[in-house]
A = this chain, B = another copy of it.
């Protein structure tokens, strides 16, 4: 119950610090009989890993996942799937300057206070490196979900907001640019902005939108475990996330009921989809879409004031290899967490009726 497990029947438990020997996890509850596409899993790992382009951190992480159990001759056996990702490129010396110092807007201070000590190297458990394990499990969950497609993309960087509805986008273009924005013109602007911000030694926030298609009716468990509530928790558990909205979102709160209600077609589908594919916490078969907001990365390459363990304010110069904007690399993480939620809901729903 210490917060390192996600899911109810399709469950991921993870461990690992940024600069320990390895990260890893256990996927428990994956049904037997799923033929595993290892290349597809590794491809997701590569999408997440640093150093892929000029606009992300130049840290090198091989991020090679090694499966230790639960898969026999390429097929899941119903037993827990253990995996590890070794930490091979940590430069622990880089972090000695933060041993006794709490960086602003990081988790240094709160971890120290909560636990009385912390592995300060690279942020330890609070490092975004932890999300590698989510991507492994999410990639497997995607395979379990079969024809359900999950497409996330960058929809905002700083003030650059992609206003086009997702229906006007071609998701096959998402991976065509380093920003992971499927609108090429906007992608170019975003990339330029990120390069500029990086030159300033600064960082900038952004948003990721996600669309889930091909979802059967009935996923999600009322009352507390509504499908969108689980999606919201999943997204908010990703480092740097500040907000979540689905369907019409905060804009929808300005509307009248007569504008917002989604009228039916005769086949049970709806003419509009302000509901975002979820009604009463249960999927209704329409596209699920939501937006996730990320704050700017806290580590900047400028001088800032930090607090040390003696209670003194000290000047600190950011160093290391960090992302000027987190959203391009967070796209596969958003997809992974969505896949975990859907896989769990899909299994649970098998028990809903006789």
Q: Which residues of A contact B (CB under 8 A)?
A: 1-6, 8-9, 11, 13-17, 20-26, 28-29, 31-34, 66-70, 72, 75, 77-82, 84, 102, 104-107, 109-111, 113-119, 124-126, 130, 156, 158-159, 197, 200, 202-207, 217-218, 220-226, 228-230, 232-234, 236-237, 242-250, 252-268, 270, 274-276, 279-284, 293-300, 302, 304-307, 311-313, 347-354
Q: Which of B21, B126, B276, B306 contacts A69, CB < 8 Å?
A: B21
| A223, chain B: closest CB distance, angstroms | 6
Q: Which residues of B contact A305 (CB under 8 A)?
A: 263-264
Q: Which of B66, B262, B300, B350 contacts A258, CB < 8 Å?
A: B300
| A54, chain B: closest CB distance, angstroms | 19
Distance in angstroms between the alpha carbons of A190 and B5 in the assembled complex: 43
CB atoms of B202 and A114 under 8 A apart: no
For A348, give the chain B residue with the smallest CB separation: B1
Would you list the 8 A-B pairs with minimal beta carbon distance, nearest first? A107-B280, A3-B221, A243-B245, A15-B82, A3-B225, A205-B253, A203-B257, A110-B282
Distance in angstroms between the alpha carbons of A203 and B257 in the assembled complex: 5
CB atoms of A254 and B205 under 8 A apart: yes
Q: Which residues of B contact A33 (CB under 8 A)?
A: 115-117, 353-354
CB atoms of A78 and B115 under 8 A apart: yes
CB atoms of A81 and B15 under 8 A apart: yes
A-B residue pairs in contact (CB < 8 Å), sample of 10: A13-B80, A15-B26, A24-B68, A77-B119, A78-B353, A104-B261, A232-B244, A242-B252, A242-B276, A260-B295
Distance in angstroms between the alpha carbons of A49 and B331 in the assembled complex: 43
CB atoms of B245 and A242 under 8 A apart: yes
Q: Which residues of B contact A217 (CB under 8 A)?
A: 109-110, 113-114
Q: Which residues of B contact A20 (CB under 8 A)?
A: 68-69
For A22, give the chain B residue with the smallest CB separation: B68
Q: Which of B23, B274, B347 contacts A351, CB < 8 Å?
A: B347
The answer to whether residues A115 and B352 also contact, given A125-B223, A203-B257, A284-B109 and a CB cut-off of 8 A, is: yes
CB atoms of A8 and B1 under 8 A apart: yes
CB atoms of A202 and B258 under 8 A apart: yes
Distance in angstroms between the alpha carbons of A232 and B350 in the assembled complex: 27
For A86, give the chain B residue with the smallest CB separation: B68
CB atoms of B68 and A106 under 8 A apart: no
From A230, A237, A249, A263, residue with most partner B Cβ within 10 Å: A237
CB atoms of B17 and A29 under 8 A apart: no
CB atoms of B107 and A202 under 8 A apart: no
Distance in angstroms between the alpha carbons of A118 and B29 in the assembled complex: 15
Q: Which residues of B contact A4 (CB under 8 A)?
A: 26, 28, 79-80, 222-224
Distance in angstroms between the alpha carbons of A293 and B232 in the assembled complex: 13
Distance in angstroms between the alpha carbons of A277 and B299 in the assembled complex: 19
CB atoms of B223 and A260 under 8 A apart: no
The answer to whether residues A77 and B125 also contact, given A9-B1, A264-B313, A311-B267 and a CB cut-off of 8 A, is: yes
CB atoms of A15 and B79 under 8 A apart: yes
Distance in angstroms between the alpha carbons of A246 and B292 in the assembled complex: 12
